[in-house]
A and B are shown apart, each in its own frame.
Chain A
Amino acid sequence: MALTKDDLLRAYRLMRTIREFEERVHVEFATGEIEGFVHLYAGEEACAVGVMLHLTRADRIASTHRGHGHCIAKGVDVPAMMAEIYGRATGSCRGKGGSMHIADLDKGMMGANGIVGGGPPLICGAALAAKVQGTRQVGVAFIGDGASNQGTTFESMNLATVWNLPAIFVAENNGYAESTAADYHIGAGSLADRAEGFGMPAATVDGHDFFAVHQAAGEAVGRARAGDGPSFIECQVNRYFGHYEGDAQTYRPPGEVEAARANHDCLEMFAGRVSHSAGIERGELDDIDRAVAALIDGAVSSAKADPAPAAADYLTDVYIDY
């Protein structure tokens, strides 16, 4: 799929929105005003956006505990996400889910997921539904390197091949499963080698490089829509923050994040590339930066001012009918 200038500006806007959102949540979390467990996606933006540019609203994704970026890229309302993280009645889940469970099924976002490896079976189901209903939609399961070792991931890759499902497995390998290094916890070969063992085409790409992700995802989505079955993509990437907010990250070597920010930042790489080849002026990107900053400012302000859920609501929404 050839990228138009509008596509590129949209991609940049989404990546910048994710970055701004996460940097701001990091700051606001430190004030103590945001409660609970929060896992930030900063540094990994090109993975979500590179994939999501190929998807329509009706295509389905399943996310991880590090899900804000997937939500934003899939079109979930940003102020509603921020409100959810603040536990507000106006949140995506009306304050019942929080950071780890933001979902919007109308946008094809089947939920961030607090269970590592929880998503791949669900995406087999979404892909099966698409196949049964003949919609040509696809399902994308985002996992991390941690979930790459879960049985649900292995089982789902096998089932996707057995049933020839329009499913795509995207492993965002940020080098750490919580505090445990991927070099330690991935037992043999590469993630792509494993996927090939399940009978599907697999690619390994630089997850900071939007264009590399976009290219690999385009091939995978094309195969899925054509009825040619599942694919796997490993995106090798850095996370700029800890496993969770509050993680001192003493397991990381000094300077690792700084080096990644300086040399492999997806936004900088993207800006450099488009200014050389796509005729996009830095000023256009700066305009997007300003608009995004205002969006996030507004989202934080409104989230802080929005009402908490009604106390009695803790009893509702367990069942549709009981």
Chain B
Amino acid sequence: MARTLTLLQAINEALDQEMERDSSVILMGEDIVGGSGAEGEMDAWGGPLGVTKGLYAKYGDRLLDTPITESAFIGAAVGAAASGLRPVAELMFSDFVGVCFDQIYNQAAKFRYMFGGRAETPVVVRTMYGAGLRAAAQHSQSPYSIFTHVPGLKCVMPVTPYDAKGLLIQAIRDNDPVIFFEHKGLYETEGEVPEQSYSIPFGEANVVREGDDVSIISLGLMVHRSLAAAETLAGEGIQCEVVDLRTTSPLDEDTVLESAENTGRMVVVDEAPPRCSVATDISALVAQHAFDALEAPITLVTAPHTPVPFAGVLEDQYMPDAARIAAAVRRVAGYAQ
């Protein structure tokens, strides 16, 4: 039976159900319990935003609070994964990858290949990303393209509570290393989520709105803004097809190309800066494989090539919004050769 849950609750439920199902699933991260070693209550935080709250009461020592020591505990999660556990490590903010990238990039991602196919590293790194909370340059980035670039990693970014639960369960059961990106601006998003356990396969993009005039390819929080733009544009007679990539590695190239073939016009919306990004990757894919179908230049709506600013008036411009997306769609829709 489905209930309405927030995306945060959906993630908590996925962790709960997988820990219940498989005793090799353990969680580790900074303050994922909260209060370890202190005189007050345990489970004081359940993660900085409470995503893991309540799990300690059920699973006790299978949740490990870590020192602030990302290299050690992300690496420990990788090593434990190569030693028979299924760890889910929480990298509190994805910006913090700067202090532990080696363990993801040179260790977890490469074990299977370097060791000639004789290693399994079923680790999940859950991590918060995204701007909009006035958290400034070191707590607001969307660095998924850096991970997507790395052979050996899988990259997932759920948009709805339903997808968050199903994709996280898939991530935990998956035998390859998975980076699971949670947009901090989506945790309170509500949606219907079945109570029972289910998984959503990776590499299957979701066509969240159908339309024949312009394709909007998007991911993460930007899917919601793309849908808002599509709604406005429908009132103007422009029908948009909105695609949520759901995973950038593996990438559902077929759905992107089919959408390009269907509409011949494409806008790619990405919260990250544009150089070597998911947006440019999608653009190159379509230019290479659906060039003949295009009736207008592919247009990118992205953040600028700057760090994320702090002040509201600055950050609000930094992030693509529905108005900018709609304006780009109008240009593309009206483009005549």
Contacts and interface: CB of A to CB of B under 8 A. Distances in A.
Given A320-B175, A322-B176, A110 B82 contact: yes
Contact of A125 (B61, B67, B82): B82
A307 to B, nearest CB: 14
Contact of B73 (A111, A129, A159): A159
A309 B174 CA distance: 28
A121 B72 contact: yes
A151 B118 CA distance: 29
Interface string A90-124: 01111111000101111000110111001011111
Given A121-B76, A126-B83, A132-B26, A320 B112 contact: yes
B114 A111 contact: yes
B152 A318 contact: yes
Interface size class of A (residues with CB under 8 A): 35 or more
Contacts of A162: 66-67
A142 to B, nearest CB: 14
Nearest to B70: A155
A319 B82 contact: no
Interface residues of B, number: 45
A316 B117 contact: yes
Interface stretch (B101-109, B204-212, B287-295): B101-109
A129 B83 CA distance: 6
A125 B106 contact: no
Interface SS, A side: mixed
Given A96-B115, A103-B119, A158-B67, A126 B75 contact: no
A111 B83 contact: no
A133 B78 CA distance: 16
B149 interface: no
Given A115-B107, A121-B103, A163-B64, A156 B75 contact: yes
A319 B114 contact: no
A163 to B, nearest CB: 7
B24 to A, nearest CB: 8
A132 B19 CA distance: 14
Interface of A: 60, 62, 91-97, 101, 103-106, 110-111, 113-115, 118, 120-126, 128-130, 132-133, 139, 151-152, 155-156, 158-159, 162-163, 316-322
